[in-house]
Chain A
Amino acid sequence: MSEAKTKSRNFRKVCVRTVKGSKDAFKRKKPKIGSCSATGESLKGVMRALPGDLKGVPRSARRPSRPFGGVLSSRASRLEIKRRNRK
């Protein structure tokens, strides 16, 4: 019977070649490309990796270092900044 963790769809099945032949391994799926919470367009400059893989990566490489970076697209963030300053 298959293990409980393999039933989750978080894992993808990968065929790995071994000495004796081939074996199925289960690896975690990469997270999806981030999307802008205002417009829904895909975010640029956001790393697509599991948290464990981001350990050695500098913070500036993980997401844009501007305000709302990694949450809003540049177009949406400009509109948001304008809106806040014109109040």
Chain B
Amino acid sequence: MFEVGRLCVKLAGRDAGKKCVVVDVLDENHVLVDGEARRRKCNLKHLDPLGESLDVKKGASRADVKKAFKVIGIELMDSKPKKAGERPKKQKLKKSVAVPVGKDEKPKKAAPAKDKPAPEPESAEKAVESASKDSAKKE
């Protein structure tokens, strides 16, 4: 009853009520169907055979099934698979370090002044004078 080319109606699932044609007989209980219903393996219990049969070869492609359905006045629609969009990249958050105010704050070192000239070393004469003054005080 369910030979290749037999027009059927699906009874179960979301494709219930849609027409399909047997493309391949897989085993005693299962066939491959295609048509208004999606191309898939199907249990014979979920199919209702109709009186008509289409001119379809074993393992026919989707295009061949489309042509066969056009003969009986049914145009099959092809749904294009949706293109996967780009996933939004996760942006790493910058760590914001809280600056402590008060006790833990380290005192800043005073930067050396560049404009000030370095102190000149004392001359030998001045050193001698200062040494003589110190000795006079001690006496």
Contact = CB atoms under 8 A, between A and B. Distances in A.
Nearest to B19: A85
B54 interface: no
Interface in B1-59: 9, 11-14, 16-17, 48, 50
Nearest to B11: A78
A87 B17 CA distance: 14
Contact of A85 (B9, B12, B13, B14): B9
A71 to B, nearest CB: 13
Nearest to B48: A82
Interface residues of A, number: 10
13 contacts: A66-B13, A66-B14, A67-B16, A74-B12, A78-B16, A81-B16, A81-B17, A81-B48, A82-B48, A84-B17, A85-B9, A85-B48, A85-B50
Interface string A70-87: 000010011001101100
B12 A78 contact: yes
A65 interface: yes
Interface in A31-75: 65-67, 74
A50 to B, nearest CB: 26
Contact of B17 (A65, A67, A74): A67
B106 to A, nearest CB: 52
Contacts of A77: 16
Contacts of B17: 67, 81, 84-85
